[in-house]
Structure 1
Amino acid sequence: MPNKTILIVLPNRDFDPSEVAISWQLLRGAGHRVRFATADAQVAVGDPLMLTGEGLDPWARLPGLRRLKLLGLLLRARRGARDAYKHMLDDAEFRQPLAYPQLQVADFDGLLLPGGHWSRGMRAYLESQSLQTFVGAFFASNKPLAAICHGVLLAARSPGADGRSALYGRKTTALTWAMEKSAWDLTRFYGRFWDPDYYRTYLEAPGEPAGYMSVQAEVSRALASPADFLDVPADAPQRLRKTSGLHRDSPSDSRPAWVVCDGNYVSARWPGDVHTFAQRFIELLG
């Protein structure tokens, strides 16, 4: 029999395949049942650019050159994540998601909030009031909860019982502005020039400072103190490996990862943290 029942909530489209599929794979490997939910109980689809890498390089719109990848190889999901995604597509639970309005905290032992960034699909997920209400109630239950990348932004927007963010008074990390801007600059200046803001879910309005609508900035505004947003310290071992964006963790190497635990809540920044992130969540589940 499965040990615990875990829920992964998804946008209908454009979720990050690494953050979802690796987490699913490790949770299932630990003996847990994993269920899914989307806005309308339709089967979700991962971000195709992150799956294939096709469409990220500047020549991708030229006939015959779409499959030639350089930037696409750097940014797309790694082979292990792509393989896990293929297996997840055949999973019966993935093929029969629940709808956000159906969700009841009592039905689940843990909740995982993944990310993504392409605004086509992610905004509906991040802005769903029914989902925000459910996430806030799940935090109030003190059951184990995990959030990574833009999933932390969903958590920050979810209301606690006092009306403040469910993350108010907690320590967290999320996609940092340095990492978000680095990938944004790569894609808009050296890659997908016809869609330069692919890597930004929200853009600053005129008069707002650079990064004001970044994940880090919005999450930080929801916290009791900006100091509760934890990035890799300057003196951390393996700091360059953790912050360069060139290294990702693996089942046997957690050195590139940066994961923050605060009670029954665990958070991480990006797909490069996902193996360590999922393992810490499994530890919280007991």
Structure 2
Amino acid sequence: MILVLLPHSDYDPTESSVPWQYLHRAGIEVRFATPTGAVAHADPRLVEQGFGPLNPLLMTRKPDLESYRAMLSDPHFQHPMAYADVDPTQFAGLLDADAAKRIALHFFKAGKPIASVCHGPLLFARTLDPETGRSVLYGRKVTGLLSVTMELAAWMITAPWLGRYYRTYPQTVEAEIKATLASPGDFIAGPPALLRDSASRPERGFTVRDGNLLTARWPGDCHRLAAEWLRMLKEAPTS
């Protein structure tokens, strides 16, 4: 059984619904958790409102929106657990979109498969291993939302009418993650060309695997992330 952690709201639908779809089709049980146990819906601008002339660049693609709408009908999505009520020992793997440190620490220490994308690895950067006093990412190789070509670029092109919509945190995701690593070079940016992957072209995506941790940069990597994570789950020992 797999645990998918979601924030209160306003997340990118691709990042959770595409992996959910791969797991669902493989017959793997999925449960959801949110901060308070309330149903968490994706960013309405990515689902319905759009970005006007920038829709081809920023809007969620139709096949991935269909995956999201299918996920909405999952009874477990409609009745999520609260983070505080999660017993992480009951789950074989973790998909993080933005979650709780207690849960994340368990999966790292237990060596269970973990997948995270975009802003998600920030949770791990902020989760300290009590044995070392360092982030659980220390000594790992990882990727996440890129500063210049993704986070800052999206902010600059939308700022004239959306303001700080794409400036979620005081510093960029990449900068905060790098500060917790053994070396800044352990943050892997991937190829410069940002090609969106798909179910038929997962090789266009980019992921970084380090042991039980699989990370990706943005929604355009999610089909590859989902396919590779599914393989990790199938290969993982059962207990």
- TM-score (normalised: structure 2): 0.93
In structure 2, distance between residues paired with 1:111 and 1:249: 22
Tell me if 1:166 matches 2:166: no
| Deviation (angstroms), 1:163 | 2.3
Residue by residue over 1:168-208, the C-alpha shift from the partner in whole angstroms, topping out at 9 and shown as x without a partner, is: 111100011121111111111xxxx24311011113xxxxx
Residue 20 of structure 2 corresponds to: 24
Percent identity (aligned): 42
Partner in structure 2 of residue 14 of structure 1: 10
Unaligned runs of 5+ in 2: 235-239
Residue equivalent to 1:176: 146
For residues 167 and 203 of structure 2, what CA distance do their matches in structure 1 show? Answer: 27
Q: Does 1:36 align with 2:25?
A: no
Judge conservation of contact 1:170–1:228 (CA < 8 Å) in 2.
yes
**Residue 198 in structure 1 maps to residue 165 in structure 2:** yes
Q: Counterpart of 2:204 in structure 1: which amino acid?
A: P
- Asked if 2 retains the 8 angstrom alpha-carbon contact of 1:147 and 1:155, the reply is no
Match of 1:70 in 2: 53
The answer to whether the 8 A contact 2:203-2:224 is kept is no
Structure 1 or 2, whichever has the larger Rg, is 1
How far 1:254 sits from its partner (Å)? 2.5
Dislocated runs of 4+, deviation >2 Å: none
Could you tell me which amino acid in structure 1 is paired with residue 19 of structure 2?
S
Following superposition, the deviation at residue 85 of structure 1 comes to 0.9
CA contact (8 A) 1:22 1:81 kept: yes
TM-superposed deviation, 1:256? 2.5
Aligned to 2:184: 226
Residue 99 of structure 1 is aligned with which of 66, 82, 85?
82
* 8 Å CA contact 1:137, 1:160 repeated in 2: no
Residues 185-264 of structure 1 aligned to structure 2 (within 5 Å): 185-188=156-159, 193-203=160-170, 213-232=171-190, 239=191, 243-245=192-194, 247-264=195-212
Q: Distance in 2 between matches of 1:53 and 1:173?
A: 29
Distance between the aligned counterparts of 1:142 and 1:93, measured in 2?
25
Name 1:141's counterpart in structure 2: 110
Given that 1:12 and 1:42 are in contact with CA atoms closer than 8 Å, whether structure 2 keeps it comes out as yes
Partner amino acid for 2:29?
R
Q: Distance in 2 between matches of 1:166 and 1:173?
A: 14
CA distance in structure 2 between the partners assigned to 1:71 and 1:256 by the alignment: 22
CA distance in 1, matches of 2:120, 2:7: 11
Letter of the 1:160 counterpart: D
Q: In structure 2, the residue corresponding to 1:8 is in which secondary structure?
A: strand
Structure 1 residue 105 displacement after superposition: 1.9
Q: 1:267 aligns with which of 215, 220, 228?
A: 215
Deviation at 1:31, TM superposition (A): 1.5
SS of 1:35 mapped into structure 2: strand
Q: Structure 1: where are the runs of 5+ without partners? A: 57-68, 115-124, 204-212, 233-238
C-alpha displacement of 1:73: 3.2
Query: How many equivalent pairs are there?
Result: 232
Read off the aligned partner of 2:83 and give its amino acid letter. Y
Please give the alpha-carbon distance, in whole angstroms, between the structure 1 residues aligned to 2:213 and 2:48.
32
Tell me the residue number matched to 1:121.
none
